[in-house]
């Protein structure tokens, strides 16, 4: 069964499951308390809304961290598009010129090199990466908490979401500030004791162990804070909902 068909089925399944009047009432309550995700719509939106709302109410919980013995033998790398000429050039130079730009609703916009990021206090965590397609692996991730970078940049009072981009144009996503400030949300540059391999998104990727793998955008080069996701792409908060995935992919 191809991807699109499988996702259509999933959507239909959610629609049927969300048909109960009780769920509709719960979704209205969620909306009232601002517990709705930005891409909510129709019946499918109700299922996602409930997941988002539940997670918002327990937003300080941590994703499970594992012992070293649980690390998977192979950190399974999902297929990526062939790298662009611009990426190959950056790679040849050992990513010396790679920049992570931080802008939008921050008081001190600027950019970080990978070396700068490595000089800041690091966090390492052994967590599970789960792809929506059914496979997963456990690895040790090392990086700078996104919260620390945003604090350095100065979070503007109006900021509500962090939108983040890849050197791959079709990959961008966003999270609310609760997830952006979560201690396990990392701008990761290391995997299993070494540099983050290109196959896994090196030199930098977003790493969000509390959401499905597709939110962990590889080849990260920009984070911007905003109060309105409508300004980006088709206004659904991410490239993923444009292709049928939910914006909020909490697990």
Ligand X SMILES: Nc1nc2c(c(=O)[nH]1)N[C@H]1C(S)=C(S)[C@@H](COP(=O)(O)O)O[C@H]1N2
Instruction: Point out which residues bind Mo ion (CB under 5 A).
Output: 131, 213-214
> Kind and range of the H or E element at 3?
helix 3-17
> Is residue 213 part of the contact set for ligand X (CB under 6 A)?
yes
Q: Rounded to whole angstroms, what are the CA distances from 91 to 97, 114, 147, 157? A: 9, 12, 27, 37
Question: Which of 30, 90, 129, 150 is close enough to bind ligand X by CB under 6 A?
Answer: 129
**Closest separation between CB of residue 86 and ligand X, Å?**
14
**Which residues does residue 224 pair with via DSSP β-bridges, in sequence order?**
103, 163
**Closest separation between CB of residue 22 and ligand X, Å?**
33
Residue with tokens 């299993």: 192
171 binds, among Mo ion, ligand X, none (CB under 5 to 8 A by kind): ligand X
Phi, psi of 214, deg, nearest 5: -65, -20
Q: Residue 72 burial by CB count (10 A; 0-12/13-18/19+): exposed, middle or buried?
A: middle
> Is residue 204 part of the contact set for ligand X (CB under 6 A)?
no
Q: Is the peptide bond before 42 cis (omega within 30 degrees of 0)?
A: no
Nearer to Mo ion, 171 or 214 (CB): 214
**Closest separation between CB of residue 215 and Mo ion, Å?**
9
Nearer to Mo ion, 131 or 177 (CB): 131
List interacting residues with ligand X (CB under 6 A). 76-78, 80, 129, 131, 166, 168, 171, 200-201, 213-214, 216-219
């Amino acid at each position: 069964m191809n991807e699109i068909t499988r996702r259509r089925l999933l959507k239909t399944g959610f629609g049927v499951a969300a048909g109960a009047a009780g769920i509709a009432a719960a979704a209205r309550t969620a909306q009232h308390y601002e517990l709705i995700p930005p891409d909510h719509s129709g019946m499918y939106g109700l299922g996602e809304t409930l997941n988002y709302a539940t997670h918002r109410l327990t937003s300080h919980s941590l994703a499970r961290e594992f012992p070293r013995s649980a690390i998977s033998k192979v950190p399974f790398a999902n297929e990526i598009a062939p790298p662009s000429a611009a990426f190959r050039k950056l790679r040849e130079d050992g990513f010396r010129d790679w920049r992570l730009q931080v802008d939008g609703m921050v008081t001190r916009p600027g950019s970080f090199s990978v070396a700068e990021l490595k000089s800041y206090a690091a966090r390492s965590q052994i967590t599970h990466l789960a792809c929506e397609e059914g496979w997963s692996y456990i690895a040790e991730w090392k990086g700078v908490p996104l919260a620390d970078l945003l604090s350095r940049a100065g979070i503007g009072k109006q900021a509500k979401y962090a939108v983040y981009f890849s050197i791959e144009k079709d990959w961008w996503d966003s999270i609310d500030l609760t997830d952006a400030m979560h201690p396990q949300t990392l701008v990761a540059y290391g995997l299993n004791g070494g540099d983050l391999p290109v196959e896994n998104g090196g030199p930098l990727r977003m790493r969000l162990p509390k959401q499905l793998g597709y939110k962990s955008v590889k080849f990260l080069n920009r984070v911007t804070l905003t109060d309105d996701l409508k300004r980006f792409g088709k206004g659904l908060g991410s490239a993923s909902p444009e292709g049928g995935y939910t914006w909020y992919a909490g697990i």
